[in-house]
Structure 1
Amino acid sequence: MSTDDRTRVKEMMSTPLRTVSPDATVTDAAKVMRENDISALVVTTTPRSIISSSDVLDAAADGLDPTDLLVADVMTTDVETVTPDLYMEEVAAMMTTFGIKHLPVVDGDYVGMVSSTDVTTLLS
């Protein structure tokens, strides 16, 4: 396969990017994910952060009340990111290496999200 045949992140990433404030409740974040049929949101913080359905599930399993719990309390900080021109094979390797399912796509600022579902779609 030549490099011209390889798929880049910009061809697979989800847009528009969905975001949530760190001050939103976990319930609010879960509603946005459900309404948009996605499983992660970028949290508008520095350093870069996300909240995923796994974070919501972990909070519920710990017996925490998602109506009182803030996104900032459960979000993952200092997340790995990728650029739109990266090859999807490299994304798959990053996800495997870091044990993650979502990578925000940045090109100066956030431009999209790529997920393990995108990798699976590409390979099937």
Structure 2
Amino acid sequence: MGFDDKTTVADVMSTPLETIAKDATVMEAAQRMREKDISALVVPNTPRAIISSTDVIAAVADGRDTSELQVADIMTTNVETATPDLYMEEVAAMMTTYGIKHLPVVDDDYVGMVSSTDVTAHLS
């Protein structure tokens, strides 16, 4: 089927944006993701960073102590972002091209998150 030509990020992004401090523990990040039923958190006050469930799983698989490990130690930096007016077809292409599952949405500041789940949910 596909997106209507006019479907934008603003139409499907998740809000409010969930964030976590870079000095929080990875365990705290995992608990927040579980509590909010999401798979990524934006790390504000850093140059475009997120921590995702994939980052957490990698830390656990490596045997790292998530109660001591800080978000800053494993967060993904220099992430791609989207603007609210970007068309969803472009977002889907970006996710495929870059092999990513989350795009923080920025206007003047972070305003939301669009995920591969959002893309999939709106394809039908």
Indicate whether the TM-score tops 0.5: yes
Q: Which residue of the partner structure matches residue 68 of structure 1?
A: 68
The CA distance in 2 between the partners of 1:44 and 1:15, in whole Å, is 15
Query: Which stretch shows the higher mean deviation, 53-62 or 4-13?
Result: 4-13
CA deviation digits over 1:61-99, x for unaligned, max 9?
001010010000000011100000000000000000000
Is 2:91 aligned against 1:88? no
The CA distance in 1 between the partners of 2:95 and 2:39, in whole Å, is 15
Q: Which residue of the partner structure matches residue 23 of structure 1?
A: 23
The CA distance in 2 between the partners of 1:119 and 1:6, in whole Å, is 14
* Structure 2: gaps of 5 or more residues: none
Q: Which has the higher helix share?
A: 1
The CA distance in 2 between the partners of 1:5 and 1:90, in whole Å, is 10
- Runs of 4 or more consecutive aligned structure 1 residues displaced over 3 Å after TM superposition: none
Alignment of 1:22-61 (within 5 A): 22-61=22-61
The CA distance in 1 between the partners of 2:43 and 2:120, in whole Å, is 25
- Higher relative contact order (Cα pairs below 8 Å, separated by 6+ residues): 2
Q: Which residue of the partner structure matches residue 123 of structure 1?
A: 123
CA shift at 1:48, angstroms?
1.1
Scaled by the length of structure 2, what TM-score is found?
0.95
Letter in structure 2 aligned against 1:101: K
What is the total number of aligned residue pairs between the two structures? Answer: 122
Scaled by the length of structure 1, what TM-score is found?
0.95
The CA distance in 2 between the partners of 1:31 and 1:62, in whole Å, is 19
- Paired-residue identity, %: 73
Q: Which has the higher strand share?
A: 1
